[in-house]
Amino acid sequence: MKVSELASIIDNRYGDPARFLANIRQWLFENRISQSSLAMEAGLDTSNLNRWLNGHVAPSLKNMLIIDEALERILDRDAASDV
């Protein structure tokens, strides 16, 4: 993968923290997952996650990646329990 392709992927998925966080809020609501559960899975402080999700502070790219990885682990666990 070329650097420009990777940059494009990152920008499309994480370039706008407000859009990323809106998607996270919607996903949490639809799947009845609490902010504290996500924070615990991500190894983040619940108050920091709450400030990000409420738009008080934008998370860094690193923290968006951590949140994304935690959500994938939750999804994987949920998918495994549906089998």
Q: What are 50-64's pLDDT values in tens digits? A: 999 998 998 888 898
The three-class DSSP label of residue 47 is: helix
Helices 35-42 and 46-53, axial angle in degrees (round to 10): 120
| Residue 80 pLDDT grade (very low, low, confident, very high; cuts 50, 70, 90) | confident
The DSSP 8-state label assigned to residue 60 in this structure reads P
CB-CB neighbours of 66 under 10 Å = 17
Domain borders along the chain are 3-81
Contact (Cβ atoms closer than 8 angstroms) between residue 38 and residue 71: yes
Please give the class, per CATH, of domain 3-81.
Answer: mainly alpha
Q: What are 27-57's pLDDT values in tens digits? A: 999 989 999 999 999 999 999 999 999 989 9
